[in-house]
Amino acid sequence: MTKKIIGGNEAVALGALHAGVKVITGYPGTPSSEVIGSLWGKDLPGTKVEWSTNEKVAFEVAAAAAWAGFRSLCTMKMSGLNVAYDSLISITYSGCKGGLVVYVCDDPGVSAGMPEQDVRGFALMSDMPMLEPGSVQESYDLIQFAFELSEAIQSPVFVRSVTNVALSHGVANVEERILPPDKKPLLEKDIMKYTKAGAAICMTQHRDLIARLEKAGDIIGEKGLNRLHLKGEKGGLGIISVGVVNTFLAEGFDIADRFGINPEEISTLEAVTTIPFPKKEVGALLDHCGAILVLEELEPHLEKGVYLEAYKRGAKVRIIGKEDGTLSRIGDYDATHVVKGIFSALDKPVPEELYKTIEAEKHCAARPITTCAGCPHRGTYMAINQAVKNLGYKKEEVMVTGDIGCTILGINPPFHTIWTEVAMGASIPMAQGYVYSGVETPVIATIGDSTFFHGGIPGLLNAVQHQINLTAIVMDNGWTAMTGMQVNPGTAPDFQQSGCKPLDLAQVIPGLGVENFFIADPYDLEGTTETIQKALTLPGVKVILSRRECAIQANRRKVKYGTVQVDQEQCNLCKRCINITGCPAISLGEESIVIDSGQCNGCALCAQVCNRSAIKREGK
């Protein structure tokens, strides 16, 4: 065993390797991406690691390997579980042979975008066990136990992490990788188990699933994973916490101690599961305590279980948490939430000193989130805006739907181009909905290449089938960029895993029945603008593939498209280049604008909007 400083997601990856995992699949999504990211490119004989097209595909691949008798891990963020759930619930009804673990990360506080979704609700709907690590070490340990539990009950198991665990770092005890067993895959033909062909089959499987969850609760109880500590005299305060909140208890107790509260008089239940509900441990706490504080981020799933258990036992215990308004269902937790809860439970005023924090953000200059220097999406946004203007429309007259990823930065200044962002692949169907609603001005949908592969193709197929008058712009930078530069089906061959065949969107899109198909270079502002203008005047479905490699990835390989120079005599500091491009490589000097050669990759979009020829590109 070796002590290492690792991240929470890396701990999951290393734990899975020590558990002898055979297949690891997933789709990149912060805060879960580093599980596969930490393994990418490593030599792992016997274990297959892949970035899948989307989460549903990823889970189906992993599930089949588990049906064949091998341990499999599928990773995703909370929003990805929405995509995978159609298959997940049916496969869970069937159960599994080899251990099947679904690692999913929630994002309380919304540090990575999308909703504050609490995936424990999915575990409740699915009658699936869900383990909730609260630290890097627990992430390593519980992922291994999840495989054991899955095989013991022959059913998939969730491991739910949150941003403050998944992206944290800490010292953990880790062990060497264990190779997957060298055995033949199990091929089991069992219609009653592996199909949903009839009500009797489905209800039998559902009955078995419920029994498997109950068995999981027994195993977790025997392991003592939910840590119960009864303290003080009977009738005192008890705290129930789960997952990451467990790690805040010690700090919260230290703070409370400074304000005269004795932690040694407070009983605790530090749970690692909400589903199955730790009924026995909660019952013991209800028998011992007169008041119970429930600490959990987001939804009060655990708290509601405590209320129900108290009602069933006839326990006259005061319960403090979200349901009584003490704590919020919004945002992530820290030690101050522990202290606030303790003081509220003890009917004491919360010390004002607790809320005296340094508000450093108030002293920071406002800085809008924009695309990187040299980002090809910049040229696409600029071209959309110019094409709309050239056709005589105002910005507020032309709907431009957006999608997930770097492309959504078009909502921000200086572009103000994108109107909507909903979910992976939603841009084209939503554009169709606006057309159906009777919008007479052009409707544009924008979507990135990885998002198009993930969920955009069905929407485009639907638009083609129904011959909708819309223009879709697929912004192809060759990478799944916003989540950390993972490969997708269209990434260049040099970066794919051995044996993988990349797909060219220039061939895929026409193959979907698109007749009006165009390819544009977003670094060519005039050409891209003309292409968009033309598309907006044609009937039916038009698709423009606006393609240039992600600037960050190109810069890593020292790719430069020329050198941009400023003619100080011609520059009059009109700031047109800054106001239109918003490029972070451009700043104001005393006599002219200044271009940071370290950031600039020579895209020359700034030169193309300068009306005094004060910016010039030399070279390519």
Whole-angstrom distance, CA of residue 523 vs CA of residue 608: 9
Is 603 flagged in the annotation as binding?
yes
Task: For residue 421, give the DSSP letter.
Answer: -
Which helix (H) or strand (E) element contains residue 480?
none
Whole-angstrom distance, CA of residue 290 vs CA of residue 345: 10
Is 364 flagged in the annotation as binding?
no
Q: Which tokens sit at 218? A: 């027994």
Whole-angstrom distance, CA of residue 228 vs CA of residue 206: 32
Cross-strand partners of 271:
242
Is 406 flagged in the annotation as binding?
no
Is 202 flagged in the annotation as binding?
no
Q: List C-alpha distances in Å: 382 to 315, 405, 467, 591, 606.
A: 65, 18, 27, 26, 11
Whether the CB-CB separation of 166 and 104 falls below 8 Å is answered with no
Is 577 flagged in the annotation as binding?
yes
Cα three-residue angle 8-11-14, rounded to 5 degrees? 160
Whole-angstrom distance, CA of residue 582 vs CA of residue 606: 9
Is 289 flagged in the annotation as binding?
no
Q: Which tokens sit at 607? A: 């030169």
Whether the CB-CB separation of 209 and 95 falls below 8 Å is answered with yes
Which residues, at least 6 apart from 47, have a Cβ–Cβ distance to it below 8 Å?
Answer: 17, 21, 22, 23, 24, 180
- Cis (ω within 30 of 0) for the bond into 414? yes
Cα three-residue angle 94-35-116, rounded to 5 degrees? 75
Whole-angstrom distance, CA of residue 260 vs CA of residue 494: 63
- Known binding positions: 571, 574, 577, 583, 600, 603, 606, 610
- Known binding positions for [4Fe-4S] cluster: 571, 574, 577, 583, 600, 603, 606, 610
